[in-house]
Structure formats: structure tokens, C-alpha cells
């Protein structure tokens, strides 16, 4: 990718040149910095933060204020990746005016370069209006976690021809509405491939097989920091949770046994200063 900030032009060029885009999530400064150092093209401040950071059952309760707070922190760590802020549930569903206003808040107050929202054909007019207002929009179709209950739960989408055709139509509608990229979640690999071949904008998959234009994963899943449930499409590259747990347990033991802090973690005071202090304290 380019040296410096990844732009919408770089993202489009990657598809044209057949270079896979790499995207992960981040919710705070340390992970923003790590994603930057790892050379991510795109970092998503996803509303998945509700589950993996805030301990909620789903993404529905996540608010605009939560999103702005976390986007600001990630942006400070991400010098090069394009940062995308996720529009939380009901921040764009009420009216087009509300959608433009809240997209503007993520960009203006959060400092991200683009926004993402869930929905296909039904949200094409909303996407078109946000794009017209000058904001880059990434679509999200297939399994849409904010409305997963309406889809019958966290299930693979587009398994039969009729359901698959609906997702193809969603992708085309989003492209026509002006998205710069589309995330497609939890669909059969051949459908992911077909959609990537059908639209000109980059299609980034999460559980959509290898033949799309790039991949995104929730970082807390891929590093094994969140293991309440592990979707089939997740690959855990490391299991960091047991490493952190062991460190915290050892810390507790060493504080209790006074093995910590050791001399190398403590500050010295000249003997004379200590004697003088004691004298002063005696009056
Ligand atoms: O919120 C999120 O992290 C997402 C990804 C799963 C794409 O939407």
C-alpha cells in the first residue's frame, strides 16, 4: 500500500491490482498503534466493542457517545491505516437527516476517515445522502449483527438461490448508492466470490471465503482475548488471554509474598537524608 495515510484511492487501486486488503478492528490507543505497526490497510472501530470491550450481550446498546470516545483513541494510534467508525444501531435508522448528522459526528468529533453502516437495498437512499454530504461510506451486508435477531440469529446468510440473490441485490444497490467498499459477513464462499466479481468496489469478507478483495476480523477474536464464543470464520493466531491471566496471577502472588517490588523496582534515599528525616520527625 502507499507510504502514509491509506486513502479511498489506494483502497480502490488494491482491488484493481488484485492486492488483498487487510482490515482489523481496534477500540483503543494501544490496539490502534499495534494495527498501525502491523501495517493494516484499514482499521475498523466496530460496534463489536459492545461485546468484546464493554461486556454487553450484543451491539444494540452501543451509543454514539461510546463510538466517538473509542474512535478518538484509535485515531491517535493510527498514523497510516484508514480508520472507519461504525454507526451504532438506531443512529441512522430513524431518518436520512439523523443518518447524515450522526455520520458527520463520527467524522468531525471522532476523527475517522469513513463510516460503516449495516443494510442493503433498504438503506441505499440513506447511503446516497451521506455520500452526497461528503462522507465516505462502507456498507455491511450478509449477516448484520445489529439486526441478527430479525435474521433468526447469528446464522450464515444466502445459503439458497433466493436468499443469495437478495444479497447480490444489496451489494449492487450499495454500489449504485456510492459506497467505496462493502463488508460481507458470514455467507458461503462461492457467494462471496460472485459478489466480489459483480461489483467494482472492494468487497471485504468476514466469513465470506478467500475469493473476495480482502479480509476483516475482530482483533480480540484473532488474538484470543475474547473467547466467550468463537465463530467458525475466526482464526486465533495467538491465545493472549491465558498469557495475561498468568501475569496477573503471578503479580498477585508476588505482592502477597512481598517478592514484588524488588530492589530494582524501588527508589533509593541517601542514609543521611533518612536519618535527618527521622530526627526532624522526633521534633
Ligand atoms: O463491529 C464490527 O466489528 C464489525 C465487523 C465484524 C465487520 O462490524
For residue 261, say if its preceding peptide bond is cis, omega within 30 degrees of 0: yes
Cα of 218 from ligand 1 centre, angstroms? 7
Is residue 24 within 8 Å of 222, Cβ to Cβ?
Answer: yes
Closest Cα to atom 4, ligand 1: which residue? Answer: 46
Per-10-residue mean pLDDT of the chain, 283 residues long, equals 88 98 98 98 98 95 98 98 98 98 98 98 98 98 92 91 98 98 98 98 98 98 93 96 98 98 97 97 91
Q: Is residue 46 in contact with ligand 1, taking CB distance under 6 Å?
A: yes
Task: Categorise residue 50: left if φ over 0, alpha if ψ from -120 to 50, beta otherwise.
Answer: alpha
Q: Is residue 208 in contact with ligand 1, taking CB distance under 6 Å?
A: no
Is residue 140 within 8 Å of 119, Cβ to Cβ?
Answer: yes
- Structure confidence by residue, pLDDT tens digits, 59-83: 999 999 999 999 999 999 999 999 9
- Encode burial over 79-105: b for 16+ CB neighbours within 10 A, e otherwise: ebbbbbbbbbbebbbeebeebbebbeb
Residues 6 or more apart from 217 whose CB is under 8 A from it? 24, 25, 206, 234, 235
Q: Is residue 183 in contact with ligand 1, taking CB distance under 6 Å?
A: yes
CA distances from 76 to 2, 8, 50, 83 (A): 19, 20, 21, 10
Cell of 164: 443469495
- Structure confidence by residue, pLDDT tens digits, 113-125: 999 999 999 999 9
Cell of 55: 461486556
CA distances from 138 to 11, 22, 161, 235, 260 (A): 12, 15, 25, 24, 49
- What does the DSSP assignment read for 53-99? TT--SSSTT--HHHHHHHHHHHHHH-SSSEEEEEPPTTSSSS-HHHH
Of all atoms in ligand 1, which is nearest to the CA of residue 216? 7
Q: Is residue 26 in contact with ligand 1, taking CB distance under 6 Å?
A: no
**Ligand 1 pocket check: which of 31, 116, 139, 145 to mutate, most ligand atoms within 8 Å of Cβ?**
145
**Ligand 1 pocket check: which of 42, 53, 86 to mutate, most ligand atoms within 8 Å of Cβ?**
86
The catalytic residues are 185
Residues 6 or more apart from 57 whose CB is under 8 A from it? 51
CA distances from 67 to 50, 53, 143, 164, 253 (A): 10, 12, 21, 31, 37
Q: Is residue 144 in contact with ligand 1, taking CB distance under 6 Å?
A: no
Amino acid at each position: 500500500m502507499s507510504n502514509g495515510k491509506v486513502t479511498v484511492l489506494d483502497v480502490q487501486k488494491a482491488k484493481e491490482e488484485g492486492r488483498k486488503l487487510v482490515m482489523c478492528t481496534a477500540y483503543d490507543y494501544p490496539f490502534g498503534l499495534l494495527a498501525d505497526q502491523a501495517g493494516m490497510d484499514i482499521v475498523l472501530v466496530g460496534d463489536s466493542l459492545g461485546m468484546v470491550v464493554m461486556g454487553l450481550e450484543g451491539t444494540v446498546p452501543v451509543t454514539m457517545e461510546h463510538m466517538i470516545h473509542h474512535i478518538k483513541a484509535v485515531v491517535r494510534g493510527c498514523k497510516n491505516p484508514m480508520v472507519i467508525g461504525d454507526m451504532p444501531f438506531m443512529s441512522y435508522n430513524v431518518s436520512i437527516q439523523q443518518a447524515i448528522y450522526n455520520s458527520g459526528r463520527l467524522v468531525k468529533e471522532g476523527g475517522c476517515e469513513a463510516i460503516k453502516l449495516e443494510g442493503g437495498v433498504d438503506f441505499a437512499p440513506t447511503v446516497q445522502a451521506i455520500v452526497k454530504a461528503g462522507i465516505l461510506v462502507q456498507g455491511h451486508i450478509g449477516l448484520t449483527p445489529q439486526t441478527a435477531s430479525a435474521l433468526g440469529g447469528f446464522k450464515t446468510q444466502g445459503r439458497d438461490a433466493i436468499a443469495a440473490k437478495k444479497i447480490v441485490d444489496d451489494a449492487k444497490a450499495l454500489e449504485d448508492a456510492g459506497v467505496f467498499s462493502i463488508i460481507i459477513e458470514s455467507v458461503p464462499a462461492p457467494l462471496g466470490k460472485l459478489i466480489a466479481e459483480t461489483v467494482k468496489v472492494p468487497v471485504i469478507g468476514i466469513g465470506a471465503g478467500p475469493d473476495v478483495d480482502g479480509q476483516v476480523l475482530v482483533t480480540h477474536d484473532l488474538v484470543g482475548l475474547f473467547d466467550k464464543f468463537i465463530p467458525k470464520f475466526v482464526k486465533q493466531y495467538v491465545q493472549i488471554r491465558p498469557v495475561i491471566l498468568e501475569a496477573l496471577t503471578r503479580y498477585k502472588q508476588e505482592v502477597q509474598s512481598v517478592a514484588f517490588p524488588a530492589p530494582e523496582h524501588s527508589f533509593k534515599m541517601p542514609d543521611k537524608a533518612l536519618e535527618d528525616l527521622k530526627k526532624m520527625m522526633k521534633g
